[in-house]
Structure 1
Amino acid sequence: MSRPTPPLAPVRSLRRALPFWISLGLVPLAWLGAALGGWVLALLPLCAWALVTVLDGVLGENPGQPDPATPEADLFWYRLITLIWLPLQAGTIYGLIWYLSHGADLGRGEALALFFGVGVLSGTVGLVYAHELMHQKNRLERWLADLLLASVLYAHFRSEHLLVHHLWVGTPRDAVTARYNEGFHRYFWRVLRDCPGSAWRAERALLARAGRPVWHRRNPFWRYGALQGAALALAYLCGGWAGVGLFVFQGVVAVWLLELTNYVEHYGLTREHLGAGRYEPVAPRHSWNSAQMASNWLLINLQRHSDHHVRPDRRFPLLQTYALEAAPQLPLGYPAMTTLAMIPPLWRRRMNPRVRAWRRQFYPHVADWAPYNRGTNPMPGRAD
């Protein structure tokens, strides 16, 4: 068994936080593409995926373990990037809609390519930051998360993620857990179909436990609808119906990237069914991890996903990494793995042997995996 890496000293300086600010470099690329068009429009997605993957190969992995007892005050420069992102993203989305509707010299195809890049910005950065913010107790941060989610028309994700996914990850009750041998394209449509209703039922049950009707003002779906309606109205004011179309398009791209990431994070990993609808507690082994350095900078340590599920409220600079003995590891960072997931035969060839090895490592006593593969409960009272 590998020796644990000694904890790092508490991180205090802007210098140490700066690598996590690399997302800022994507914003001027969007505006540069709008100004110049042509091949420049490819720079943003290429930097977010290809360049980061190359940097992962050059820089390697980061096994460092930050001190989880680091005071909140020492995390200021880490938190700040997530706090300032909303105006940067909103200014980019609506500013570019206005720019295109007021005489920008871009063709229709170039406009779509530009807003594909904007969707990469919203999905790769904005939704990752929203995920970090929604897990915090601070009211401002949770509002920022709601606004970022509304900017891609996926506001229900907060309810689904907090009230369903974190409780039921690795079980049939969690639509976001990708099943063994399930291709991404089938998974994507299943998630789009099932998750809004799952989020609604979770909020309805929460209200019922408090003795409130579903139409009560505390139902967050009222807020979700209002914020998304306002986001669409602003797109119309900036660019008319063409502006609304571009806004929706970047939202679709962002959601596609979010669900690609969700697909990778838990593919084929299941919690053991203990009988009578009960499952083992969530453990580090129920999430795929990647210690690649550059992609963890861009995704603010989202790839340290096992620790996130063990401690959902732990801020991203303090997330721990795990050795192979405790949690499964991906061969590459999320940008490369999500690209691979778009080609199901290649994905299965790379990942199915890893899932089977995970099963042998952690559940050697389970003889029949067929119910888990189908996303159903084994027979009550049986461990397999």
Structure 2
Amino acid sequence: MIPADEIAKPSHALPFWLSLGLVPLAVAVAMVGGWAVLLMPASTWWLFTVLDRITGKSEENPDPATPEAALGWYRAITLIWFPVQFLLLCWMLWYVPGAEHLSGWEKAGVFFGMGVIAGTIGINYSHELMHQKSRLERWCADLLLAMVLYSHFRSEHLRVHHLWVGTPRDPVTARYNEGFHRFFPRVLVQCHRSAWAAEVAMLARRGLPWWNRANPYWRYGALQGGMLLLAFTLGGWMGVGLFLLQAGVAVWQLELVNYIEHYGLTRRHLGEGRYEHVLPRHSWNASEKASNWLLINLQRHSDHHYKPDRRFPLLQTYDAEEAPQLPLGYPVMTIAAMIPPLWKRIMNPRVRAWRRKFYPDITDWHAYNKGLNPVPGHRTPDQAGA
């Protein structure tokens, strides 16, 4: 176990600040153009995969009792990221639309790279921030999500995903044998619906109508509208188009990660709309060191679901006996997810092995998921009306 005094050292936190290196790279790409536009996706998808091979795995756990005061350097990187990303986006919206040395395709390539930053880093940091109690951190989460027009992700993630992960009621739990290209459009529609329904239901429990000012969708709309207005002010209609491109790429990056985090994993239904508690077995994990630096330990996903407000430097890892492990880190696995035959060849045998290990009494999963109740004593979701 890593002791608290070691965790508190700036040198221990420093690798998680590597994301800042993407900012000068993005500026250089915009100023150079040409084949340099490929550097942004290459740096996040391929460079960190290579670094994973060099640095190996990190399977040692930090002391979970480490006090909050010892985590200042870790908290700082998530807090400064919004102003850093905001200034970078503003500069790009001002500079790129009028840059004569960039062709139309090169401008699109620059903003594709901006979307990779906003999705891989920005949304991931907003995910960390939205789980904290501080109003400042939650506001930073909202602002980062508004920059990619995906503000409802906060409602969906906190009020739907964490409650219903691994069940039919969670849109972002990828079904077994569901390819990403089917998953993605389904999620884009269903997440909006489930997030809205969750917020309206919460207001109703307080005796408030959907149009009450307490509905966070008013804030979401105002922030997103402000970002679109900013894009138009700085870059005109081309700026709006490029802004929408980076937002779309960022959302695609987010949902790729959502897809691999719980693919094919389900919680047992106990009847009457109830499910077993979320356990480490219900998330895919990875211990690759460099990827966890980039993604601030997102790959320790089982522990995040066990204790959602635990800050990222204290997330625990589990061995294969408790939680399923991916063969490689998230960056390379998201690439595999874009090729459904390859993904299914890699992951479907692992899902079947997971089922045999943790749920040996369920012998017909197709029937179980269809509500045909092959398991004595357990009512399935369809039978319970879930």
Give the TM-score, by structure 2 length.
0.95
User: Structure 1, residues 147-190: CA drift from partner, whole Å, max 9, x if none?
Assistant: 00000000000000000000000000000000000000100000
Q: Is the 8 A contact 2:4 2:70 kept in 1?
A: no
Q: What CA distance in whole angstroms lies between the structure 2 residues aligned with 1:287 and 1:354? A: 13
User: Structure 1, residues 356-375: CA drift from partner, whole Å, max 9, x if none?
Assistant: 1101111111122114556x
User: Structure 1, residues 39-95: CA drift from partner, whole Å, max 9, x if none?
Assistant: 111111111010100111111100110011111110000110100001111111121
1:137 and 2:128 correspond: no
What is the number of residues matched between the two proteins?
Answer: 378
Matches within 5 A, 1:156-167: 156-167=152-163
Structure 1 residues 381 and 227, CA, compared in 2 at 3 Å: closer, same or farther? farther
Q: Residue type matched to 1:351 in 2?
A: M
Structure 1 residues 133 and 209, CA, compared in 2 at 3 Å: closer, same or farther? same
Structure 1 residue runs of 5 or longer lacking an equivalent are 1-5
- Where does residue 13 of structure 1 map in the other structure? 9
In terms of mean alpha carbon deviation, does 359-368 or 166-175 score higher?
359-368
1:152 and 2:184 correspond: no
Q: What CA distance in whole angstroms lies between the structure 2 residues aligned with 1:330 and 1:67? A: 24
Q: Residue type matched to 1:284 in 2?
A: P
User: Structure 1, residues 85-115: CA drift from partner, whole Å, max 9, x if none?
Assistant: 0111111112111002344420000000000
What percent of counterpart residues are identical?
65
Structure 2 residue runs of 5 or longer lacking an equivalent are 381-386
Q: What CA distance in whole angstroms lies between the structure 2 residues aligned with 1:133 and 1:192? A: 22
* Runs of 4+ in structure 1 over 2 Å off: 6-10, 101-104, 371-374, 376-384
Q: Residue type matched to 1:61 in 2?
A: K
Q: Residue type matched to 1:249 in 2?
A: L
1:350 and 2:335 correspond: no
1:9 CA drift (Å): 3.9
Q: Residue type matched to 1:65 in 2?
A: N
1:14 CA drift (Å): 1.1
- Where does residue 239 of structure 2 map in the other structure? 243
Give the TM-score, by structure 1 length.
0.96
- Where does residue 271 of structure 1 map in the other structure? 267
Q: What CA distance in whole angstroms lies between the structure 2 residues aligned with 1:49 and 1:297? A: 13
Q: Residue type matched to 2:274 in 1?
A: R
1:8 CA drift (Å): 3.5
Say which of 215, 227, 250 aligns to 1:254: 250
Matches within 5 A, 1:280-319: 280-319=276-315
Q: What CA distance in whole angstroms lies between the structure 2 residues aligned with 1:108 and 1:236? A: 18
Matches within 5 A, 1:367-382: 367-371=363-367, 373=369, 378=373, 381-382=377-378
Matches within 5 A, 1:50-69: 50-69=46-65
Q: Residue type matched to 1:75 in 2?
A: L
In terms of mean alpha carbon deviation, does 359-368 or 124-133 score higher?
359-368
Structure 1 residues 184 and 203, CA, compared in 2 at 3 Å: closer, same or farther? same
- Where does residue 18 of structure 2 map in the other structure? 22
